[in-house]
Amino acid sequence: GAVVSQHPSRVICKSGTSVKIECRSLDFQATTMFWYRQFPKKSLMLMATSNEGSKATYEQGVEKDKFLINHASLTLSTLTVTSAHPEDSSFYICSARAPDRGTDTQYFGPGTRLTVL
């Protein structure tokens, strides 16, 4: 399968700081990447769809000024949680579409656990 990495895997920060999470497709080019949030024992909640070279499309209820997404290249998308607060603590997972792999589905990264103190 296609490989997607995320960095960092875990981050702890103070309230009010900003945190950047990177998502990379390692062995394929991803024109579309997705950012999800997951609470304990809950399913994935799509936050936004990121297309290379264009603005991200945010889901209803997701603050675009709070969660900044940049998809500057075909292998890298970043999510920046600005002025993080304890309620932003969650598991953030990215995925990337791999249409040239024959399945045209999404491959997920390992996730980033964010804890805001």
Partner 1 sequence: QKEVEQDPGPLSVPEGAIVSLNCTYSNSAFQYFMWYRQYSRKGPELLMYTYSSGNKEDGRFTAQVDKSSKYISLFIRDSQPSDSATYLCALRGGGYNKLIFGAGTRLAVHP
Q: Which residues bind partner 1 (CB under 8 A)?
A: 1, 4, 6, 32, 34, 41-44, 46, 49, 91, 93, 95, 103-111, 113
Q: How far is the CB of 73 from partner 1 (least distance, A)?
A: 20
| DSSP notation for 24-41 | EESSS--SEEEEEEE-TT
Residue corresponding to tokens 């990215």: 94
Q: Is 44 in contact with 93 (CB distance < 8 Å)?
A: yes
**44/68 with CB nearer partner 1:** 44
Q: How far is the CB of 56 from partner 1 (least distance, A)?
A: 12
**82/89 with CB nearer partner 1:** 89
Among the listed residues 57, 61, 47, 60, the one whose alpha carbon sits nearest the alpha carbon of residue 112: 47
